[in-house]
Amino acid sequence: MQRLIFATLLSSLLFAACSPEEQVQAVNPDAAFPMVDRDLENIQESGVLRAITVYSETSYFLYRGQPMGFEYELLTRLADHLGVRLEIVPAHDLDELINMLNRGEGDLIAHGLTITKPRKQYIDFTRYLYLTKQVLVQRKPEDWRNWKLHEIERTLVSDPIELIEDTVSVRLASAYYDRLKNLEQEIGGDIYIDTVSGDLSTGRIIKKVVEGELDYTVADDNIAEINSAYYPILDVSTPISFSQRAAWAVRKNAPNLLQTLNTWVEEMRQKTDYYVIYNKYFENKRAFRARIESEFFSEAGGKISRYDSVVKQFSDSLNWDWRFLSALIYQESQFNPSATSWAKAKGLMQLMPATARELGVSDRTNPEDNLEAGTAYLEELYNRWESIPDSVQRVKFALASYNCGYQHVVDAQDLAEKYGKDPGVWDEQVEVFVKRLSYPKYYNDPVVDYGYVRGIEPVTYVDQIFERFEHYQQLIPEES
């Protein structure tokens, strides 16, 4: 009841303070304040950091089977710093970022949000990650290469005052919308603001300008510049704001998380690693072009690798999601059919010579033969673990066996039973003893028949395949 009264009061105050144009972008009253209590200690206790981020060509995406992005790379380092597992929560509607955070769908917003006073009413910003300014994104004439520079310039908006009575397209809950509303006051004239769908990233809106669907949009200069390097028909030289700070954000009831993030951001910005990551996504024009042009860029069409069709064929025989099998193949070879390990394993699924001979494979670099044999071997291992009742746990036993050998996993299972753990569960049970098989006390135990194994490798192997599968599920449609 108290929350309902507060929400009603807040709603009336917000609408009373806003003009009709601004009312629609007010934060949802039900999510204007934190709806969950979850601070740093809760995150570390759960072992999971849930980060809300944006699927875009700079923040978070998939390229050649690997999750990438400025925010993603920083988040992986943050999760390591906190000693927790990272869980990405993609925002499908960018207008919902603050609402998602306050509803508890994530622990922080990991996106370059412009720090503004209206937003600070609802969320707490971290120390800024970088400085930016907003610029107008517009299209040069179609045959601009045949024009002289001064002729091109005459066709472009070079001063914001020229936007009076013109239409600019931006997302409703963006800082760009707020800036355009303020600009109207400054120039003393109307700008027609066309609000586009919240599911469009800034990069995708820019592409609509390139294709002539929109006349103008606004973007942070780092995003605008990297896009203009790929689309030379764009002009991004007209600023419409002073410098602004871009940062991540947390709920207002997470002071310990905020303090830790502030310290981490300040330390991170002193490291060369930070600037390498920033340059990779906002300065390296050649790499940006390579990603955008690739059919294996997740925004371009839902492909993971050039072997998707044959992976789908053989995943059916396992009754596995083809994206899961793709995650395993990436882990084994990064989709390189000629990959060879120090142990002489070769091909997409890293078949050992003896396994290949047993399965009748003469050329392990042949993608189709390698996949057929590898999936047949996986199926055999999966069937050998039929005593495991839970199907997900059974898959983990099969994956670990594929990595380090079936008998080593049986040894770990026997140790688990000896020490009072559940031999039918991988997570935090048998996996613990797989790791312990690296120590003499355990690999010399009487119940162990096959001795030493570097146990951290199969445990990491299983974890990373499942983690990569989560990314594939988020970014690649099952039927693509």
- Tokens representing 429? 């049970």
CB 401 within 8 A of CB 409: yes
Report how far residue 216's alpha carbon sits from residue 431's, in angstroms, rounded to the nearest whole number.
55
Task: Please choose, from the candidates 424, 422, 425, 419, the residue with its C-alpha nearest in 3D space to the C-alpha of residue 436.
Answer: 419
Report how far residue 364's alpha carbon sits from residue 4's, in angstroms, rounded to the nearest whole number.
65
Report how far residue 27's alpha carbon sits from residue 44's, in angstroms, rounded to the nearest whole number.
29
- Tokens representing 363? 């050329």
Residue 215 pairs in a beta bridge with: none
- Name the packing angle between helices 221-230 and 272-282 (round to 10°): 50
Residue 52 pairs in a beta bridge with: 89, 109
CB 436 within 8 A of CB 419: no
Task: Please choose, from the candidates 404, 407, 480, the residue with its C-alpha nearest in 3D space to the C-alpha of residue 447.
Answer: 407
Going edge to edge, which strands form the sheet with 134-139? 216-220, 134-139, 234-239
Q: Which residues are catalytic?
A: 332
The answer for 344, left when phi > 0, alpha when psi is -120 to 50, beta otherwise, is: left
